[in-house]
Amino acid sequence: MGRYAEVHSQSINDPEGFWGKAAEEIDWYKKWDKVLDGSNAPFYRWFVGGELNTCYNAVDRHVERGRADQPAIIYDSPVTNTVRKITYGEFQDLTAKFGGALRSLGVEKGDRVIIYMPMVPEALVAMLGCARIGAIHSVVFGGFAPNELATRINDAKPKVIVSASCGIEGAKVIPYKPMLDGAIDQAEHKVDGTIVMQRPQAEAPLKPGFDHDWTEITGKAEPADCVPVAATDPLYILYTSGTTGNPKGIVRDNGGHAVAMKYTMKNFYNCDPGEVFWAASDVGWVVGHSYIVYAPLLHGATTVVFEGKPVGTPDAGTFWRVISQHKIPTMFTAPTAFRAIKREDPNAELMKSYDLSHFRALFLAGERSDPDTIKWAENNLKVPVIDHWWQTETAWVIAGNPLGTELFPVKYGSACKPGFGWDIHAVGPDGHDVPAGDVGSLVAKLPMPPGTLMTLWQADDRCRKAYFDEFPGFYMTGDAGFVDEDGYVHVMTRVDDVINVAGHRLSTGGMEEILSAHPDVAEAAVIGAADELKGQMPVGFIVLKSGVSKSHSDVCAECVKMVREQIGAVAAFKTCTVVDRLPKTRSGKVLRGTMKKIADSEEFKMPATIDDPVILDEIREALQKVGYAGVKAA
C-alpha cells in the first residue's frame, strides 16, 4: 500500500484516531472530551469540550518558541511600491493592540466584526485581533458593492466594521469609505462604529465618535491577551454565493479548523515551518482565509500579502519577481491568473530574468484548471503543478495531488485523489454510486473532516436543505463530475446557478433578481459563458415589457450599471442583450443549460420538453451579436 493509501484509509476508517493525533500539533488550554461528536448529525462537531485560541496558535506560541524575529508577513505591494516585513514578535503586539481597540468599542467574545479591506497586512491584524478576543470576524471582499455589504451587515449583525480609506486596483485608487458609508446607511442593523485605516492614496473624512482612526485607537488601546474559546465556538463567518441572491454565511469553528489547517501545510503542500508560503488570492475569499492567513501562520511559516495583479503591476513578470525576491518555494493561485500571464507573455520571456531555482511547486484552485494552462506552467516552471478542488464550505482541499504525502502522475483535467478524511462519491439522482467514469453529483460521505462548515449563520434549516437533505448521510458539494477507475476525481460543472468568474464565485440567480427589478424588464436569464481569460463571464438576456419605447442599448446599459452598483465590479457583468422570449420547457423552466451550450458553441441535444425550438435560433443570433456562439472563434 502506498503512503497516500495508508494515510487516507486511516483518515476514513478511524477519523477520531487520525484527527486526534493531528490535534496534538495545536496548543490547547483544555484538551477535548471527544474528538468527534455525531449526536446531532448532519451537524458534526470536532474536539468537543476542548478549549484553545486560534490567535495564540497562529502567533503567540511561535514568539514563545523562538520565531519572534522571523517574518510572519511579507507585504509586497507593487501598486504602492512597498515591501514591508512584520515579524511574529511585531505581529503579536499588533494583534494585541487591535484586540484591545475592539474591546474599547465594546466588542467581546461572540460579537461579530465585519472586515472590509484591501490586501494590506492590517486586514490580517484585524482578523487575528478578533480571534484573539474570541470575536467572530466576517471578511467581505473589497470588490463587492455597498448593497452586498449591507446584506452581510443585516445577517451577521456586527458591532463594529473595520475598513480602510481606499483600495488600489492596478492603477486605480478605489475609495472604500463612501461604499462603507453607503452600506451602513442602507443596512437595517445599526453598527456601533467603525475603525478605518487611513491610506495616503485617498484619506477619508471620519465622523467623530463613530469612525475611529486605526492608528489613534490602536495607539491608546490596552493590549489584549488571547482568551480561551471552545473548540466549537465560531472563528469566522464567510459569505458565499448560493442559489439565490441571498449569500450563505458559512460558519467555521476554532478547533477543527486549526487542526486541519496545520495538518495540510506539511502533508498536502509540503511546506515546512519557517518557509515562505504565498497564496496569491485575496483575504476576502476562502483561499485567502485559509492559505494567506490561518494555515501558514498556524504552521509558523511566513505568509505573503501581495497587493497587485498577475499582469499590469507592472507587468506579467511580477509573480516571478515576488517568488525570486522572497525565495518562495510554494505558491498557490487561481488558473485565471496564469491565463492572464500566458496571454501577455506566451513564451514566458519575463521569467528568464529571475532566479526561480528554489521554487518547488505551484498549486492551482478556485476553478477547473484547463490542461493548456497546467502544461504551460509545467513547461516553463519545471516543477509539479497541482490542481486541487475545494470550496468556501470546506476551507481546504477536497481532492488534490498530496505532494507532502505522495505525488501521483497528473491526469489533465482531474483534481486527483480525495483529500484526507474525504470519502468522495459520484452519485445519481437515487443517491447510489454511478459507475466509475460516469458523471454524477459529487458528494462526500459524512462526517466530513474537521474545519469544514459547521452550519450557515443562524440558519440550520437552510444549511440542511442546501447541503444535506438531498442525499441523506452525504454532503452535497454542488459540483458534478466523476471518479475514474484509478480513484481520480474529475470536477466538471456546477449543478446549481453558481458561476465562476476569474476564480470568483457568483450567483446568476442574484444577477437575474437585479435585472428583473429594472422597470422595463419583464423577465431575465443570466448564464456563465466560457471565457478564455476568466473561465466564465456572465451574459444577461432580458425580455422587455410590452410598450417599452426606450432603445434596447439604453436598457441594457442601465442593467449593466445596476448589477455593478448592486453586486459590485467583481461580478464583471458587462454583456446584456434583449431577446423577444426566453427558451423554456413546457412547464416554464428556463433552459439556461442549453443557452450556455449555444454560447459556447457546444453540441446539445434538443430538450424533449422544449416549448418552442425556434427560440433557440433567436438566442443564437442574439449571442452572436455580442460575440458568442462561434463568433469569437471564427
Query: Nearest-CA neighbor of 574 among 589, 561, 583?
Result: 561
Note whether 167 binds ligand COA by CB under 6 A. yes
Interface positions, 504-543, toward ligand COA (CB under 6 A)? 504
Query: Nearest-CA neighbor of 130 among 102, 91, 163?
Result: 102
CB of 257 to ligand COA, least distance (A): 18
Pick 165 or 330: Cβ nearer ligand AMP: 330
Note whether 503 binds ligand COA by CB under 6 A. yes
Pick 95 or 330: Cβ nearer ligand AMP: 330
Based on C-alpha coordinates, what's the Rg of the chain?
A: 24
The piece of 82-90, 317-325, 461-469, 568-576 that touches ligand COA (CB under 6 A) is: 568-576
The piece of 101-109, 269-277, 360-368, 454-462 that touches ligand AMP (CB under 6 A) is: 360-368
What span, in angstroms and rounded, lies between the C-alpha atoms of 90 and 412? 43
The piece of 281-289, 293-301, 313-321, 482-490 that touches ligand COA (CB under 6 A) is: 281-289
Note whether 366 binds ligand AMP by CB under 6 A. yes
What span, in angstroms and rounded, lies between the C-alpha atoms of 622 and 634? 16
Query: Nearest-CA neighbor of 529 among 628, 602, 633, 605?
Result: 628
572 binds, among ligand COA, ligand AMP, none (CB under 5 to 8 A by kind): ligand COA
Burial of 69 from C-beta contacts in 10 A (0-12 / 13-18 / 19+): exposed
The two counts, helices (H) then strands (E), for the chain are 20, 31
First to last CA, the chain: 51
Interface positions, 402-421, toward ligand AMP (CB under 6 A)? 415
Of the candidates 287, 377, 443, 524, which one interacts with ligand COA according to CB under 6 A?
287
Of the candidates 42, 366, 402, 481, which one interacts with ligand COA according to CB under 6 A?
366
Please tell me whether residue 587 adopts helix, strand or coil conformation.
Answer: coil
CB of 383 to ligand AMP, least distance (A): 18
Cα angle value 244/246/250 (rounded, 5°): 110
The piece of 144-152, 382-390, 457-465, 578-586 that touches ligand AMP (CB under 6 A) is: 382-390
Contact status, residue 236 vs residue 289, Cβ threshold 8 Å: yes
Note whether 590 binds ligand AMP by CB under 6 A. no
Q: Look at the chain and count its residues.
A: 634
Interface positions, 39-98, toward ligand AMP (CB under 6 A)? none
Q: How many Cβ atoms are within 10 Å of 189's Cβ, its own excluded?
A: 14
State the number of binding residues for ligand AMP (CB under 6 A): 20
Note whether 478 binds ligand AMP by CB under 6 A. yes
What span, in angstroms and rounded, lies between the C-alpha atoms of 469 and 488? 26
Cα 631 to chain centroid distance, Å, stands at 32
Contact status, residue 179 vs residue 146, Cβ threshold 8 Å: yes
CB of 183 to ligand COA, least distance (A): 14
Grid cell, residue 371, equals: 490542461
Please tell me whether residue 549 adopts helix, strand or coil conformation.
Answer: coil
CB of 294 to ligand COA, least distance (A): 15
Amino acid identity at 453: L
Q: Which residues pair with 168 in a beta bridge?
A: 173
Spatial neighbors of 254 by CB under 8 A, at least 6 apart, are: 52, 53, 54, 131, 229, 230, 231, 232, 233, 234, 235
Note whether 570 binds ligand COA by CB under 6 A. yes
Pick 71 or 449: Cβ nearer ligand AMP: 449
Grid cell, residue 142, equals: 473589497
Contact status, residue 524 vs residue 509, Cβ threshold 8 Å: no
Q: Which residues pair with 610 in a beta bridge?
A: 585
What span, in angstroms and rounded, lies between the C-alpha atoms of 44 and 24? 20
Query: Nearest-CA neighbor of 44 among 451, 472, 477, 461?
Result: 451
State the number of binding residues for ligand COA (CB under 6 A): 24
478 binds, among ligand COA, ligand AMP, none (CB under 5 to 8 A by kind): ligand AMP
Interface positions, 307-336, toward ligand COA (CB under 6 A)? 309-311, 334, 336
Of the candidates 72, 195, 258, 286, which one interacts with ligand AMP according to CB under 6 A?
286
**Peptide bond between residue 314 and the one before it cis (omega within 30 degrees of 0):** yes
CB of 306 to ligand AMP, least distance (A): 18
Contact status, residue 287 vs residue 261, Cβ threshold 8 Å: no
596 binds, among ligand COA, ligand AMP, none (CB under 5 to 8 A by kind): none
Note whether 174 binds ligand COA by CB under 6 A. yes
335 binds, among ligand COA, ligand AMP, none (CB under 5 to 8 A by kind): none
Grid cell, residue 512, equals: 437575474
334 binds, among ligand AMP, ligand COA, none (CB under 5 to 8 A by kind): ligand COA
Q: Which helix (H) or strand (E) holds 333?
A: strand 330-333
Note whether 243 binds ligand AMP by CB under 6 A. no
DSSP, residue by residue, 596-632:
HHHHTT---PPPTTBS-THHHHHHHHHHHHTT-TTTT
The piece of 26-34, 251-259, 386-394, 425-433 that touches ligand AMP (CB under 6 A) is: 386-394
Of the candidates 151, 163, 240, 318, which one interacts with ligand AMP according to CB under 6 A?
240
242 binds, among ligand COA, ligand AMP, none (CB under 5 to 8 A by kind): none
Note whether 505 binds ligand AMP by CB under 6 A. yes
The piece of 105-113, 221-229, 383-391, 467-475 that touches ligand AMP (CB under 6 A) is: 383-391
491 binds, among ligand COA, ligand AMP, none (CB under 5 to 8 A by kind): ligand AMP
Q: Half-sphere exposure of residue 94, counting CA atoms within 13 Å on the CB side? A: 19
The piece of 33-41, 537-545, 569-577, 624-632 that touches ligand COA (CB under 6 A) is: 569-577
CB of 185 to ligand AMP, least distance (A): 28
505 binds, among ligand AMP, ligand COA, none (CB under 5 to 8 A by kind): ligand AMP
Q: Which residues pair with 540 in a beta bridge?
A: 526, 576
Note whether 281 binds ligand COA by CB under 6 A. yes
Q: What DSSP state is assigned to residue 233?
A: S
Query: Nearest-CA neighbor of 364 among 345, 386, 379?
Result: 386
Note whether 142 binds ligand COA by CB under 6 A. yes
237 binds, among ligand AMP, ligand COA, none (CB under 5 to 8 A by kind): none
Interface mask (CB under 6 A) for ligand COA, residues 106-135, using x and -?
Answer: ------------x-----------------
Spatial neighbors of 306 by CB under 8 A, at least 6 apart, are: 76, 77, 119, 278, 280, 322
Of the candidates 133, 204, 337, 539, which one interacts with ligand COA according to CB under 6 A?
337
Contacts with ligand AMP, residue ranges (CB under 6 A)? 240, 286, 365-369, 387-392, 415, 478-479, 491, 494, 500, 505
Summarize as ranges the residues that interact with ligand COA (CB under 6 A).
Answer: 118, 142-143, 167, 169, 174, 281-282, 285, 287, 309-311, 334, 336-337, 340, 366, 502-504, 569-570, 572
